[in-house]
């Protein structure tokens, strides 16, 4: 049985090397993943517009939990036949690279089921968990509310009220994932920043791929 990729989202950001408890981010552009890294046209179920599309905008906002987020809205989002089945569980592979040509960062501190963690990780059954304490990292909104995972799903068609929001954890939330020892975690953070920062910023590329089959125990390749 093949795994179907159904949502592709790529964003390029400049992430400031945070010395404080906050991580600031500047979004430079969004673009659908290339044909070589995404699904074939006959398996693609939903596609967000490119940042070059007329009407597409990025908005910075603060989540209900106080996290810094950005939301991409505007333009048409295409949902292809047969639409999104609301009865299925969905899994997101969130790939993180330093620079467009960088290698995927390894996943750190996933749970025993291969879910969650920091880096290039799988977030399981996103309607309900989305990575435990880092839940709601990636959300699809319909109008001004998170799209509901309901039995009716999302029928095929063109939508102008769908938007994509990505939120960032704080530095203090990330440190325990690097190491339970606070001092070692701080050292690992400083090493990560110093080895990747350019002019005080880290060029971060995030690619999110949504699957309608469990991928948490599959080989990374």
Nearest to 140 by CA among 27, 6, 2, 3: 6
CA atoms within 13 A on the CB side of 130: 14
Q: What pLDDT is stored for residue 157 in this prediction?
A: 92
- Output b/e per residue, 145-160; b: 16+ Cβ within 10 A: eebebeeebbeeeebe
Domain spans in the chain, listed from the N-terminal domain onward: 5-211
Assigned token pair, 8: 């592709």
CA diameter of the chain: 51
Q: What pLDDT is stored for residue 155 in this prediction?
A: 85
CA atoms within 13 A on the CB side of 192: 24
Q: What pLDDT is stored for residue 17 in this prediction?
A: 45
Kindly give the confidence (pLDDT) of every residue in the chain, 221 residues in length, as a single tens digit, with 9 standing for 90 and above.
344 444 444 444 444 444 445 566 666 666 666 666 666 666 777 888 877 788 888 888 888 777 778 788 888 888 888 887 777 777 888 888 877 778 888 887 788 888 887 788 888 876 664 444 445 566 778 887 777 666 677 888 999 998 888 777 777 777 776 677 889 888 887 787 777 666 666 677 777 777 878 888 776 65
Question: What's the DSSP call for residue 43?
Answer: G
Q: What pLDDT is stored for residue 39 in this prediction?
A: 61
Q: Which residues contact 50 (CB under 8 A, 6 or more apart)?
A: 30, 31, 32, 56
Please identify which residue in the block is written with the tokens 């400031």: 16
Q: What pLDDT is stored for residue 130 in this prediction?
A: 40
The backbone torsions φ and ψ at residue 193, rounded to the nearest 5 degrees and listed phi first, read: -65, -45
Assigned token pair, 102: 């960088």
For residues 175 and 70, what is the distance between their CA atoms, to the nearest angstrom? 22
For residues 219 and 152, what is the distance between their CA atoms, to the nearest angstrom? 32
Q: What pLDDT is stored for residue 73 in this prediction?
A: 87
């Amino acid at each position: 049985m093949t795994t179907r990729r159904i949502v592709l989202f790529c964003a390029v950001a400049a992430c400031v090397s945070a010395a404080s408890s906050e991580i600031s981010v500047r979004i430079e552009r969004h673009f659908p993943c290339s044909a070589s890294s995404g699904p074939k046209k006959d398996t693609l179920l939903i596609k967000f517009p490119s940042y070059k599309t007329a009407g597409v905008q990025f908005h910075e906002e603060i989540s209900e939990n106080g996290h810094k987020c950005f939301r991409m809205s505007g333009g048409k989002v295409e949902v292809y036949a047969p639409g999104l089945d609301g009865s299925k569980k969905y899994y997101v592979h969130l790939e993180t690279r330093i620079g467009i040509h960088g290698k995927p960062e390894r996943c750190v501190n996933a749970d025993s089921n291969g879910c969650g963690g920091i880096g290039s990780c799988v977030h399981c059954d996103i309607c309900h968990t989305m990575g435990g304490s880092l839940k709601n990292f990636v959300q699809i909104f319909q109008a001004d509310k998170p799209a509901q995972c309901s039995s009716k799903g999302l029928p095929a068609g063109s939508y102008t009220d769908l938007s994509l929001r990505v939120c960032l954890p704080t530095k203090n939330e990330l440190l325990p994932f690097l190491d339970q020892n606070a001092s070692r975690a701080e050292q690992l953070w400083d090493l990560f920043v110093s080895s990747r920062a350019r002019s005080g910023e880290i060029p971060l590329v995030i690619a999110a791929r949504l699957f309608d089959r469990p991928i948490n125990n599959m080989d990374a390749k």
